[in-house]
Chains A and B, each alone.
Chain A
Amino acid sequence: MAPAIAIKDLSKTYETGFEALKRVNLDIERGELFALLGPNGAGKTTLISIVCGLIKATGGTVKVEGHDIVTDYRAARSLIGLVPQELTTEAFETVRATVSFSRGLFGLKKDPAHVENVLRQLSLWDKRDNKIITLSGGMKRRVLIAKALAHEPRVLFLDEPTAGVDVELRRDMWEIVRGLRESGVTIILTTHYIEEAEEMADRVGVINNGEIILVEEKSELMQKLGRKRLILQLGSTISAIPDGLASYDLELSGQGDELVYTYDTHGGRTGITNLMNDLRDSGLRLKDLQTKQDSLEKIFVDLVHKD
């Protein structure tokens, strides 16, 4: 069975000469939830836009469930739903009209029952006759999802669906996405949020400078992500780490007034309690402390830079 999305040697160079994608290869399996991560300008949206037919590739091929997006574009596009990053909605249309319009665009006959089902699923049914201009940002985001689901797609692209969305709504979105995935829809989502990938993705891909630099199962990724840093601000400067603390994964930084302890949050014991005890025994006085966790994006960009 052909994968949901098969991308082979995909390249895109814009007229300005900017090389947005450099021979990208990526397969996304049917039914999986794939999170695509990368910094701004990495090529995420370009990649999605090519698959969805919004941008022309310079080289390479893309197939959606075996259908080429250029030579067999009708079959390929009819399988895809796209939720764009920007809140681009028709201001003066009603919610129900705009969702019905989307269904018509994909060549499907009117199905008020399906439209009602989608609107109810997204808690939009009460707003069905409201003009989109009167809705909040979060509701507009839901309308975009409803439009993308109007034609019952088998592959759904969510381009940063929770960008600028409050925590509660983000949780709602996760529930919606989870429900879709359970119904068998293949989902490709781009995000900046580590919790999002952690919460939902089966696999995670990282794109940077137009190249896919890593594709991993989430479980493997979490091991790398599980590492956190405890930053200990000392009351005075020291020239070296005291012998009593040599067994810890510590690094002296700042002006010699900062100790950084790296630990694994997924491990049963983080060693923090022992470290604190040994710090006291070493006679070091603490001024402040904080913990830091790198974003998924930063971790992988850092990895690339190391290469």
Chain B
Amino acid sequence: MNYRAILAIYQFEMNRTKRTIFQSVVSPVISTALYFVVFGAAIGSQISEVEGISYGAFIVPGLTMLSILTQSISNASFGIYFPRFTGTIYEVMSAPVSFIEIVIGYVGAAATKAVLVGSIILITATFFVDLRIEHPVWMVAFLLLTAITFSLFGFIIGIWSANFEQLQFVPLLVVTPLAFLGGSFYSINMLPEFWQKVTLLNPAVYLISGFRWSFYGQADVNVLLSFGMTFVFLGICLVLIRRIFKSGYRLRA
């Protein structure tokens, strides 16, 4: 194992975050804080409690998960797409580095950034709402697992994308709607019965529900099912990445 190469890639990516601190960390925190102000304090004060939790507190896990998803995907996809775009990827591809090491370096950095942003959002949330975490170990497990899984997904998008438009396509037009409709702002029990069943096809439901359970002990779906579904998605991403690297798809002609 070329640990130094993993570290080099990881540090390179983390340095990029430092250079673009506003875009990487401050910007998602500000936008999430705005959600808290609008939905939590302004509109939320007019909304009755959801499943015994104040609306402002209810949306915290969903909003955090929304940020984790988008941050993981955008960090990882940009991290690998940009060197492909500029051509600097040649250096990584010609170094004595295995594909697994490349993935650990890029995905590890993207997941770290996403967890960092998620943590800052949770801390920010405590300024606006009364937050409690009933199952902190599970909360951390969901946070890490989601960040890693969606960073892997972002890495796949970064390799698949042939241009900047494609790079934005999946995060904007697929992931964000799924996260919004996955119960970030409401419990799926509030939906008509038919839509409750349709919503179960949305993978974001399992992530948000499981994450919310770790805070308040209440979930839309069974927590083990949530955890299991996240693992299924992780497995799919790993299989796809293995296939990409075995075939050299868009990396090695």
* Cα–Cα, bound, A103→B4 (Å): 9
Contact A82–B96 (Cβ < 8 Å): no
Binds B, one of A27-35, A87-95, A217-225, A260-268: A87-95
Most buried by B among A78, A107, A108: A107
- Say yes or no: is A53 at the interface (Cβ < 8 Å to chain B): yes
Contact B90–A88 (Cβ < 8 Å): yes
Contact B91–A56 (Cβ < 8 Å): no
Contact A105–B92 (Cβ < 8 Å): yes
Q: Report A-chain residues with C-beta under 8 Å of the C-beta of B252.
A: 53-56
B92 to chain A, nearest CB (A): 7
Q: Which residues A12-37 have CB closer than 8 A to chain B?
A: 14-15
Q: Report A-chain residues with C-beta under 8 Å of the C-beta of B163.
A: none
Binds A, one of B8-16, B120-128, B166-174: B8-16
Contact A107–B5 (Cβ < 8 Å): yes
* Cα–Cα, bound, A108→B19 (Å): 25
B101 to chain A, nearest CB (A): 10
Q: Which residues A69-112 have CB closer than 8 A to chain B?
A: 73-78, 80, 82, 84, 86, 88-93, 97, 101-109
Contact B90–A106 (Cβ < 8 Å): no
Contact A108–B4 (Cβ < 8 Å): yes
From A56, A73, A109, contact of B96 by CB (8 A):
A73
Give the interface residue-count category, chain B.
Answer: 20 to 34
Which partner residue on chain A sits nearest B3 by CB separation? A107
Contact B7–A147 (Cβ < 8 Å): no
From B12, B16, B88, B96, contact of A107 by CB (8 A):
B96
Binary contact track B1-42/A, C-beta < 8 Å → 1, others 0: 011110111011001100100000000000000000000000
From B3, B15, B94, contact of A97 by CB (8 A):
B15
Q: Report B-chain residues with C-beta under 8 Å of the C-beta of A108.
A: 4
Which partner residue on chain A sits nearest B83 by CB separation? A90
A11 to chain B, nearest CB (A): 14
* Cα–Cα, bound, A101→B15 (Å): 11
* Cα–Cα, bound, A103→B96 (Å): 11
From B2, B16, B93, contact of A54 by CB (8 A):
B93
From B3, B88, B98, B253, contact of A88 by CB (8 A):
B88
Q: Report B-chain residues with C-beta under 8 Å of the C-beta of A73.
A: 96
* Cα–Cα, bound, A54→B93 (Å): 6
Q: Report B-chain residues with C-beta under 8 Å of the C-beta of A105.
A: 4-5, 8-9, 91-92, 95, 97
- Say yes or no: is A10 at the interface (Cβ < 8 Å to chain B): no
Contact B96–A84 (Cβ < 8 Å): no
* Cα–Cα, bound, A107→B1 (Å): 9
- Say yes or no: is A52 at the interface (Cβ < 8 Å to chain B): yes
Q: Report A-chain residues with C-beta under 8 Å of the C-beta of B96.
A: 73-78, 106-107
- Say yes or no: is B228 at the interface (Cβ < 8 Å to chain A): no
From B16, B19, B86, B95, contact of A77 by CB (8 A):
B95
Which partner residue on chain B sits nearest A110 by CB separation? B4
Q: Report B-chain residues with C-beta under 8 Å of the C-beta of A82.
A: 90-91, 94
B27 to chain A, nearest CB (A): 18
Contact A101–B8 (Cβ < 8 Å): yes
Which partner residue on chain B sits nearest A94 by CB separation? B15
B53 to chain A, nearest CB (A): 44
A212 to chain B, nearest CB (A): 21
Contact A80–B5 (Cβ < 8 Å): no
* Cα–Cα, bound, A200→B253 (Å): 32
Which partner residue on chain B sits nearest A53 by CB separation? B94
Contact B248–A56 (Cβ < 8 Å): yes
Contact B91–A107 (Cβ < 8 Å): no
B96 to chain A, nearest CB (A): 4
Q: Report B-chain residues with C-beta under 8 Å of the C-beta of A103.
A: 8
Given contacts A92-B19, A104-B7, A105-B8, contact A84 B90 (CB under 8 A): yes
Which partner residue on chain A sits nearest B7 by CB separation? A104
* Cα–Cα, bound, A106→B92 (Å): 9
Q: Report A-chain residues with C-beta under 8 Å of the C-beta of B253.
A: 14-15, 54-56
Contact A147–B15 (Cβ < 8 Å): no
Q: What are 16 pairs between A and B in contact, CB < 8 Å?
A: A15-B253, A52-B90, A52-B94, A54-B252, A56-B252, A74-B2, A77-B94, A82-B91, A82-B94, A88-B87, A88-B90, A104-B4, A105-B95, A107-B3, A107-B5, A109-B4
Other A-B pairs beyond A73-B96, A107-B4, 12, CB < 8 Å = A14-B253, A54-B93, A55-B253, A74-B2, A75-B96, A76-B96, A82-B90, A82-B94, A90-B88, A104-B11, A105-B4, A105-B5
Which A residues are closer than 8 A to B by beta carbons? 14-15, 52-56, 73-78, 80, 82, 84, 86, 88-93, 97, 101-109, 147
Closest 5 CB pairs of A and B: A104-B8, A88-B87, A74-B96, A105-B95, A52-B94
